[in-house]
Chain A
Amino acid sequence: AQSVTQLDSQVPVFEEAPVELRCNYSSSVSVYLFWYVQYPNQGLQLLLKYLSGSTLVKGINGFEAEFNKSQTSFHLRKPSVHISDTAEYFCAVTRVASYGKLTFGQGTILTVHP
């Protein structure tokens, strides 16, 4: 089975400051890793994914994440946040060759203050 731990439930930050949202995972088999964003009253939108290859993954809206196999981590970063980045962020994994099942972390609420 897979599990995901998001280390911070809430992260407040000022506009234009850098931010890192932390994610650790546990799995005995190969997995793919994802970050999703959820704005109020909306579904989930994929920010970025790691399937294989380069461990630094770039996504939409200026976000990037680094896969670290030895530390089983997949932290999300953005060098300069905007007010519009205020949302809830979910780290997720899925087992390679699985059917539809994503396992999510508990979420991190990012609040960007002016």
Chain B
Amino acid sequence: KAGVTQTPRYLIKTRGQQVTLSCSPISGHRSVSWYQQTPGQGLQFLFEYFSETQRNKGNFPGRFSGRQFSNSRSEMNVSTLELGDSALYLCASSLSGTSGRGSYNEQFFGPGTRLTVL
């Protein structure tokens, strides 16, 4: 079974531009979560989508947005890029994204998209 794929793997943009990153989950997975990884702030949760609906959201400004398509593929968009947006953006997919007592649907991570803002 193919893993989580993210495109592109590397991206260079300039301040003020916008960018769209793509994530294809493992076949059959319906939940996609996005994380930002930086040396200073570490790994931070951006948002989670399930069946084209955003169910959970982290503490990021409105410049960060996402969506999910009917085939569970997800995109995230960052508008008006700032230098501080330079980061590794990871997406993770799971069957349903939910956890109950004694059960958990594991999140499988993609390799990430390295975004550099100049």
Instruction: Name A's B-contacting residues (CB within 8 A).
Output: 32, 36, 41-46, 49, 51-53, 90, 92, 94, 96-107
Contact = CB atoms under 8 A, between A and B. Distances in A.
A57 to B, nearest CB: 13
A41 B100 CA distance: 32
Given A43-B111, A44-B90, A97-B101, 19 more contacts: A36-B109, A43-B92, A44-B92, A51-B103, A96-B99, A99-B31, A99-B48, A99-B97, A100-B55, A100-B92, A100-B94, A101-B58, A102-B33, A102-B45, A102-B107, A104-B42, A104-B43, A104-B44, A107-B42
Given A51-B103, A52-B102, A99-B50, A43 B56 contact: no
B60 interface: no
Interface residues of B, number: 30
Contacts of A46: 106-107
A98 B102 CA distance: 13
- Secondary structure of the B side of the interface? strand
B4 A98 contact: no
B103 A100 contact: no
A8 B77 CA distance: 34
Contacts of A104: 42-44
B98 interface: yes
Contacts of B69: none
Given A43-B111, A105-B42, A100 B100 contact: no
B107 A97 contact: no
